[in-house]
């Protein structure tokens, strides 16, 4: 697919600007409503101009998912990877996720929460792509948990896949509460849930490290 | 709104049958697609026949939410209320919820997970009604947790609202995995998460009762 821009009435618009808008719409209303016509209207562009970028509704939707993955990677995964491997990194992932939710980087909250709910019962390419991305994410969480186990920061009995499921549940739950109830203290509730769960899973000799990790401010507030 | 049936080509159809179908569609595709025209087509009824029952799309959507609440109450809340107050009841709620998810009482999984995600960014009567129902549900979980605290089955430090959030997150997470990955063992993963969390929150003197509760099969398999 070409990344070059067709000449439009808003010549300064880049493909990235269009997709950022697309991600934002989809985070609120889902991907199904994301038609070329709707996006052209919202961006004051011609349908033919947009069509030359994306060709079809499905292609636009797939590009939107890839754009959302990039934004998520930059907001949560990349900054968390700066934290030391193991427990500190697991904690950093949670902190960055809650920050991503609270800052409303996407105005409908977590893009992936919205669209996976929307497509869960719709077999096809979009659902397959979303399931793949979400499986990658759960495996990413599990691999960090495995590393924490290897370092002795989590007990030998911890099942990394089980913990990945639990972390993902708490992150999604916090996003859901924040969106549905307009609750701003949900980051506190979510972090407290993670804090308590990790205290249970860390062996006694790792508790000092754990409490130090909780105290350290891993969030990098620079834009 | 009248609960009497208008004469239709399928005279045997009751309002309840129509709404059961409506709930099922909405659990998969959301409430927005639930128009009188769509439902009339799926049920092989006339639009005017359906219109006489519900009057407007919004009225149909609200009746559908109420129907889903009734089904949920009968599948999860009522049977769980047969368990003794406190921890046994909290455990029963989780078991019945996972059964409700796995049995796919609604073919798109949990109705409320789908429609709260759909309406979270759409201010109005539907979102307000959903937020109210979900707040009631979280308060219901918190009140059972409070009772377990009062009975000494959970530590005095437990915050019932915090625990309600965590339970809801695990239940939603299990529903999400089951739907997105077609995972059938998610009830095991979800129950294990709850089991471990409750072990952490129960004081030592309540541990025997807790393990007995886990062993008891509270699920009432009679239809």
Q: Say whether A176 and B121 touch across the interface (CB within 8 A).
A: no
Tell me whether residue A5 is in a domain.
no
Q: What number is the average pLDDT over the span B57-73?
A: 94
- Is residue A8 in some structural domain? no
pLDDT of residue B196: 93
Q: Distance between terminal CA atoms of chain A? A: 30
Q: Are A60 and A36 in contact (CB under 8 A)?
A: yes
CA dist., res. B43 & res. B9, Å (int)? 10
Q: What digits encode the pLDDT tens for the residues B154-205?
A: 999 999 999 999 999 999 999 999 999 977 788 889 999 999 999 999 999 9
CA-CA distance, B121 to A189, in Å (whole number)?
A: 22
From chain A, pick out residues whose CB is under 8 angstroms from the CB of B162.
Answer: 189, 192-193
- Please judge whether A107 and B121 are an interchain contact, meaning their C-beta atoms are less than 8 angstroms apart: yes
Contact B106, B85 (CB under 8 A): no
Predicted confidence band of residue A107 (pLDDT cuts 50, 70, 90): confident
Contacts of B118 in chain A (CB under 8 A): 30, 117-118
**B104, B169, B188: best to mutate for the A interface, most A CBs within 10 A:** B169
B-chain residue closest to A180, CA distance: B120
By the 10 Å C-beta count (0-12 exposed, 13-18 middle, 19+ buried), B103 is classed as exposed
Segments forming the whole domain that contains residue A114: 15-215
Domain with residue B198: its CATH number is 1.10.357.10
| Alpha-carbon gap: B71 to the closest alpha carbon of chain A (Å) | 20
Residue at A24 is within a domain? yes
Contact assignment for B193 to A131 by CB distance below 8 Å? no
Number of domains chain A is built from: 1
DSSP 8-state assignment for residue A177: H
Using an 8 Å CB-CB cutoff, list residues of chain B that contact chain A.
Answer: 27-30, 107-109, 113-114, 116-118, 120-122, 127, 130-131, 134-135, 162, 165-166, 168-170, 172-174, 176-177, 179-181, 189-190, 192-193, 196-197, 200
The pLDDT-based confidence of A13 (bands split at 50, 70, 90) is low
Residue that wins the pLDDT comparison between A50 and B70: B70
Give A181→chain B minimum CA distance, Å: 7
Taking an 8 Å cut-off on Cβ atoms, the answer to whether A165 and B108 are in contact is: no
Mean pLDDT of A162-166: 97
For B73, residues 6+ apart whose C-beta sits below 8 A from its C-beta are none
Please provide the average confidence, as pLDDT, over all residues in chain A: 89
Tell if the CB–CB gap between A192 and B107 is shorter than 8 Å.
Answer: no
Contact A49, A15 (CB under 8 A): no
Q: What is the band of B218 on the pLDDT scale with cuts at 50, 70, 90? A: low
Please report the DSSP string for chain B in residue order: ---SPPP-TTTT--HHHHHHHHHHHHHHH-STT--HHHHHHHTT--HHHHHHHHSSHHHHHHHHHHHHHHHHIIIIIHHHHTSPTTHHHHHHHHHHHHHHHHTTSSTTS-HHHHHHHHHTT--SHHHHHHHHHHHHHHHHHHHHHHHHHHTTSS-TT--HHHHHHHHHHHHHHHHHHHHHH--SSHHHHHHHHHHHHHHHHS-GGGHHHHHHHHHS-------
Is A60 inside a domain boundary?
yes
Distance separating alpha carbons of residues A208 and B16, to the nearest angstrom: 58
Residue B34 forms part of a structural domain: no
Interface test with B, best of A154, A180, A182 (most B CBs within 10 A): A180
pLDDT of residue A1: 40
Summarize pLDDT for A55-75 with one digit per residue, the tens. Answer: 888 999 999 999 999 999 999
In a domain, B191, yes or no: yes
Q: Closest by alpha carbon to B216, among B103, B101, B92?
A: B92
- pLDDT > 90 fraction of chain A, expressed in percent and rounded: 69
Residue B151 in domain: yes
B220: pLDDT strictly greater than 60: no
B154: left (phi over 0), alpha (psi -120 to 50) or beta: beta
Smallest Cβ–Cβ distance between A166 and the set B108, B120, B193 belongs to: B193
In chain A, whose CA is at the least distance from the CA of B161? A189
A198: distance to nearest CA of chain B, Å? 11
Q: What is the DSSP letter of A135?
A: H
Cβ contact A121–B131 (<8 Å): no
Q: State the burial class of residue A157 (Cβ atoms within 10 Å of its Cβ: 0-12, 13-18, 19+).
A: exposed
């Amino acid at each position: 697919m070409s990344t070059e821009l067709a000449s439009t009435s808003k010549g300064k618009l880049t493909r990235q600007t269009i997709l950022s808008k697309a991600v934002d719409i989809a985070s609120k209303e889902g991907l199904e409503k994301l038609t070329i016509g709707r996006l052209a209207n919202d961006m004051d562009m011609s349908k033919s101009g947009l069509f030359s970028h994306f060709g079809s509704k499905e292609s636009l939707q797939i590009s939107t998912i890839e754009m959302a993955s990039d934004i998520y990677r930059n907001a949560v995964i990349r900054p968390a990877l700066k934290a030391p491997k193991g427990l500190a990194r697991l904690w950093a992932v949670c902190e960055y996720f809650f920050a991503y939710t609270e800052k409303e980087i996407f105005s409908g909250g977590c893009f992936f929460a919205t669209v996976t709910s929307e497509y869960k019962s719709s077999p096809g390419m979009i659902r397959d792509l979303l399931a793949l991305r979400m499986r990658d994410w759960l495996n990413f969480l599990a691999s960090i948990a495995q590393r924490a186990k290897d370092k002795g920061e989590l007990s030998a009995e911890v099942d990394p896949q089980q913990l990945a499921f639990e972390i993902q549940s708490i992150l999604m739950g916090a996003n859901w509460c924040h969106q549905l109830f307009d609750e701003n203290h949900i980051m506190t509730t979510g972090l407290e849930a993670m804090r308590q769960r990790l205290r249970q899973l860390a062996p006694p000799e790792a508790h000092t490290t754990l409490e130090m990790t909780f105290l350290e401010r891993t969030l990098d507030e620079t834009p």
